[in-house]
Structure formats: structure tokens, C-alpha cells
Amino acid sequence: MTDPAASVLSADAVCVTYRSRNGAVQALRNVSLAVATGEIVVALGASGCGKSTLLGLYAGFARPTSGRVLIEGAPVTGPGPDRAVVFQDDALMPWLSAQDNVAFGLRLRGMGRPEREAVARDLLREVGLDGFADHAINEMSGGMRQRVGLARALAVDPRFLLMDEPLGALDELTRERMQVLLLQLWQRSGKGIFLITHSIEEALFLATELVLFSPRPGRIVQRYRPTFGRRFLAGEPLRAIKSDPEFLAMRETLAAAILSEEEEGLARG
């Protein structure tokens, strides 16, 4: 299914070991995972299973202890605007308006004010915040802030979007609306998305590739290729997909897998 012209962001047999007071802790063991443009790779798993560590490697915030992280075949040496990050806690600049937040990355490049404001306004419209350009961040709800964060990441036109539980703090309805928005933006832009979540439903609905992580040491234990997101974009109604027996069956399979991994982890100590 991968387009031959696609760019690839890949982790290649990476291990990450932290030194802590109780000796060495292995956050990631031998993880290989590639994100191609046009794909949504979702990492699912309990907290502390290394998903965020992997995102940090992709983003260039940290280096692997061993193994390689490559973007289009070249090693990742640090953060850069080809891999924009969306955070769970929006990490916006609260002293800037919504529009100036979205334009922040363009300002860093020295783009002139009228140009970047035009780009920012277009993006705010695209994420459904038309008319909120001059609003202060602390006047906005959590869902609106996440939309601003998403627009800010899109403004620098990255090839990859790295999203660390971007919808984790939102209520159920807002969350579903954001999932739909994310799928639509993804379809229009063809970006490669790496998304971390705790929610099985969210993972199934969004992913083109779903990887299940297990903790201590963090590693990938299962890989799936759900098609529900593409079915939704092809016109199937959301409620029909989420009550489809196949969707429900996969949800149960994943829940059971997570539970058994957790129990195994506890047994291992």
C-alpha cells in the first residue's frame, strides 16, 4: 500500500536505557517501526511502556542508546520542522493570540507578518476555529487549544506529525470530533502521522498501522492493520463503523492483549 514516492521516518532496532538510582532501566528494547507519509501509525499501550520515548527519538529530543533513527535514510540529529510535534498538554505560548501561536513556526523562519497571518488564518479555518484568530489561549477550551496546537504544527508544513496523546485530556464527544478532523486533515495533506494513545477505540479508528506496546522493557508485542479510518473517509457512517462486529471484536482482542501483557508484567515483577 506504501506509495513509492513516500518519505519514511524509521526507528531501526532502537534501544534506550536510562540510568536510575535502582540501576539501568530499559525504556525501549529492540524496537523497529517505520512511519511513511500517507500512513497513520498508532502506538497503543499502558503508561510507562516507552511510547513517548519512541516519539522523543523520532522528534530528535533524545538519541537512542543503540540502533538508528532515520528520516529518508539520513540519521535524525535533532528536532526540526519536518517532524512537528503535538503535545498532550498543548504547550502553546499563552502570551500570544491563537493566530500568533499558529504563525509561530513561520515567524521563526523570518516570514513577514502579513504573509504568516494569512497562512495562520487559513489553517485556523481548516481546524474549525474560524473567527478565533485574536482570542487569547486562556480563553479557549481544551479542545480548541488542541486545534490551535494542530494548526501550529501544520503551519510549518511538516512531512510528519508526531502526536503524544493529543486527545487524552478531552471529553468523549470533543475527542470523537477531533478524531474525525484528524482523519480529514490527514486525507487532504497526506502527511505521515505517529500518534500515541491510551484509547483502544481511538487507535482502531485512526490507525492504518496499530502497534501494541508492552512495558518493562518497552517493546512492540503486536502489529495490526485496521481499515476503519479509511472506511470512514470512504463515506461509511461513524456510528456504523464503531458498532461493526469486526470493530468490536478487534477492540476485545486488544483489550485482552493489553490485560494479559499487564499481568505478565506484574508476574515478572
Binding site for another protein (CB under 8 A): 59-61, 78-81, 83-85, 87, 89, 91-95, 104-105, 107-109, 136-138, 152-153, 156, 162
- Indicate the residue among 102 and 254 with the shorter CB distance to another protein: 102
Residue whose cell numbers read 536510562? 18
For the bound state, the minimum distance from the C-beta of residue 86 to another protein, rounded and expressed in Å, comes to: 9
Question: How far apart (Å, rounded) are the C-alpha atoms in residues 201 and 195?
Answer: 13
For the bound state, the minimum distance from the C-beta of residue 207 to another protein, rounded and expressed in Å, comes to: 22
For the bound state, the minimum distance from the C-beta of residue 127 to another protein, rounded and expressed in Å, comes to: 16
Where does residue 110 fall: left (phi above 0), alpha (psi -120 to 50 degrees), or beta otherwise? left
Between the CA atoms of 118, 124, 130 and 133, what dihedral angle is there, to the nearest 10 degrees?
-70
For the bound state, the minimum distance from the C-beta of residue 81 to another protein, rounded and expressed in Å, comes to: 4
Count CA atoms closer than 13 A to 110's CA, side-chain side: 0
- Indicate the residue among 124 and 258 with the shorter CB distance to another protein: 124
For the bound state, the minimum distance from the C-beta of residue 94 to another protein, rounded and expressed in Å, comes to: 4
For the bound state, the minimum distance from the C-beta of residue 1 to another protein, rounded and expressed in Å, comes to: 28
Question: How far apart (Å, rounded) are the C-alpha atoms in residues 173 and 92?
Answer: 23
Three-class SS state of 27: strand
- Indicate the residue among 79 and 128 with the shorter CB distance to another protein: 79
- Indicate the residue among 59 and 204 with the shorter CB distance to another protein: 59
Count CA atoms closer than 13 A to 93's CA, side-chain side: 11
Angle between helices 172-189 and 142-155 (to 10 degrees): 10
For the bound state, the minimum distance from the C-beta of residue 150 to another protein, rounded and expressed in Å, comes to: 12
Q: Which strands form 8-20's sheet, in the order they lie side by side?
A: 23-36, 8-20, 66-71, 74-75
- Indicate the residue among 79 and 265 with the shorter CB distance to another protein: 79
Compute the C-alpha angle 119/152/131, nearest 5°: 60
Supply 243's cell numbers: 458498532
Three-class SS state of 69: strand
- Indicate the residue among 120 and 204 with the shorter CB distance to another protein: 120
- Indicate the residue among 150 and 220 with the shorter CB distance to another protein: 150
